[in-house]
Amino acid sequence: MFTTQLNTLRCLFAFVLMLMGLHAAPSFAQTRGDPAQGMWVSTERTRGGLGMVYTVLADGTVVEDFGAVVDFAWSEQDSHWTIKTDGPEMQIILAADGKTITMRQAQAPDQTSFRAGPVSAERSLIGLWRFQHGSGAPATMVFAQRGQGVLLVQMKQRRGTMQRADDGVLTITLDSGQDRTLTGRLQGEILELSWGSKTMRFKRLVMR
């Protein structure tokens, strides 16, 4: 059943959000530090839409999320924002106090959601918004700069640490019962990670 939901996730994206509602988490702040710090989403997905998101924190902690990953584009129009995916277009209206958003879609009732984290000084959707997917899995919407957005429905999460050698090679060690080690390099806004015979490319989600 979960596999079926993942395969139809793109088409049902806007409608699912209307039903579930969103709750904001504190914005992900990219501070000055290691160039690898930030959020990275895999550029390649399985046929079922599965992919990976890596988050590198300022203290070197790495969070690996695996699950259904859906890209979306968002833009600001007058006093509201618009989300575009393979499904119906949705409007998101941010209240004047920055604490609530209203999601509006044709032929569907309005859905109001509340911000759980601190209100940004700027009227902006940029940051992380969490909710529970219909499958019961935790889900996160990421609004990034340049109109980029990603929806992640999490199936598995691992944590680990990152180290950088003098030659620029990154080493990520994940605790998954047995430690798994990945090596990688940064190439501009692209992060390449390898383990065993596999190599994956990740694009940066720019939050600031």
pLDDT given for residue 192 in this prediction? 93
Which has more confidence, 1 or 67?
67
Cα separation, 155 vs 133, whole angstroms? 11
The count of other CB atoms within 10 Å of the CB of residue 78 is 8
pLDDT given for residue 196 in this prediction? 84
Mean pLDDT of 171-200: 85
Mean pLDDT of 138-150: 87
Condensed to tens digits (0 to 9), the pLDDT of residues 48-101 reads: 899 999 999 888 899 999 999 999 899 987 767 888 777 677 888 877 777 776
Q: Determine contact, residues 168/153, Cβ cutoff 8 Å.
A: no
Nearest residue to 136 (alpha-carbon basis) of 155, 151, 149: 155
Alpha-carbon torsion (84, 90, 96, 97), positive or negative: negative
pTM of the model: 0.76
